[in-house]
Amino acid sequence: MMTMRSSGVPTFSSGPLALGIMLLGVLMSLANAAHCAEPAAKPAAQRVLFLGNSITRHGPKVDIGWTGNFGMAASAAEKDYVHVLTSSLAVSMGALPDVMVENIADFERNAEAIDLKARLEKCLAFKPQIVVIAIGENVPQLRTEADKAAFGRRFQKLLETFKVKDGPALFVRGCFWPDAAKDQVMQKVSLEAEATFVDISDLGKDPANRARAERQIAHDGVAAHPGDKGMKAIADALLKAISERMPPSQKKAK
């Protein structure tokens, strides 16, 4: 039964109608609570492509004592810079990235013989949103200005391969084994291509970042590669560059 307050606002006395209204209110409250408790949708995974050499990934090679299939010379797969950086990106992005790793040491050693579009076909089909290019160590020494110009042209072609509509953000890692000439060329080309150059030459100068500082390794070449400490330092340098260029709000998949 409905009565009227002196203010003119209707009120309901006890009875079936009042009970029904009370039950409706409870149900609406429960519905709202359930809606609020629904978990937030997980962000879509970012696609990250790593192009590198043995520091990025090297398959087993018994004759040099290397049995891994990950970045040389980390002590385990999860310790190489690709895995460390991927884990860090998962935290900042809120989702584990989809990752592709490709060793392009053949490009370093003999770029003129490589058809880049064909060589990187599957990488382009992956449609990465972030590309980390970590090469240089296997490029022949740049002894003359002509050598520098030739390497610059080859490296420019590599970066231009990813200059497509809605293309990825490019991050170029400098040489781990310090080489000013190669870094100078890659930095200049990176700037022209709007790629971010990440200088890590100081890391290679520190003996503590090499695998031989962490464990005994018979092969000098393997021992000279970054160990776990060096790998983490490389990952940290790349993470800093990616975070500065791509704040969390911009790291959502397209």
Nearest CA to 158 out of 1, 52, 32 is that of 52
Query: What is this structure's pTM?
Result: 0.82
Task: Give the domain ranges of the chain.
Answer: 2-37, 47-247
Spatial neighbors of 89 by CB under 8 A, at least 6 apart, are 46, 48, 97, 239, 242, 251
Q: What is the pLDDT of residues 163-207, one digit of tens each?
A: 988 899 999 999 999 999 999 999 999 999 999 999 999 999 999
- Give residue 246's pLDDT: 84
- For 113, 128, 201, the CA distances from 118, given in Å and listed in that order, are 12, 17, 32
How is domain 47-247 classified at the CATH fold level? Rossmann fold (3.40.50)
d(Cα 135, Cα 137) in Å, to the nearest integer?
A: 6
Torsion of CA 7, 8, 13, 19, to 10 degrees: -110
